[in-house]
Amino acid sequence: MNRFSRGVLTLLLLIPLLLACEAEPAGAAWICDGDRLTAEVVHLGRDAIGTTTEPIPNISDGTSPGDLILLTWRGVTLQLPRTNNAGVPSYTDGRWWWQVEDPDHPDFRQRRSSIIQYICDTETS
């Protein structure tokens, strides 16, 4: 199966899932490396239950493992799952990494042969 066919198949499998999930309204936007980037959190995850009926404290800033973020940048949409790292939510697929610790300057990186960090600033109207 070629790359295009795999992409179409993946999209067809994800459409019902994305239509059924609850997404925060798009509106978070920045300028990253000179181009507009938008971010939309998609809530798919659930808090884990431990050996008792008490949830494992895994919710971070309203997100849980299994949630993902859709980043639209330079004509591409990246779907990055939430990590289980401590602190503010971060998202990665192993190549791309996103975290908004400072709302005016989120951290956006790409791993190639080295780490490329893109400078992001708040979008001004």
Q: Is residue 51 part of a domain?
A: yes
pTM above 0.85, yes or no: no
What's the whole-number average pLDDT of the chain? Answer: 77
Q: Is residue 33 part of a domain?
A: yes
Average pLDDT over residues 41-63: 60
| DSSP H or E segment with residue 9 | helix 3-20
Give the percent of the chain with pLDDT over 70: 62
Q: Is residue 4 part of a domain?
A: no
Q: Is residue 36 part of a domain?
A: yes
Least confidently predicted of 49-58, 96-105, 108-117 = 49-58
Confidence of residue 98 (pLDDT cuts 50, 70, 90): very high
Contact 45, 65 (CB under 8 A): yes
Q: Is residue 35 part of a domain?
A: yes
User: What's residue 4's pLDDT?
Assistant: 64
Counting the structural domains of the chain, the total is 1
Q: Is residue 2 part of a domain?
A: no
Q: Give residues with Cβ within 8 angstroms of 35, minimum separation 6.
A: 73, 74
Q: Is residue 8 part of a domain?
A: no
Residue numbers of the domain that contains 79: 22-122
Is pLDDT of 44 > 80?
no
Confidence of residue 2 (pLDDT cuts 50, 70, 90): confident
Average pLDDT over residues 76-84: 91
Q: Is residue 54 part of a domain?
A: yes
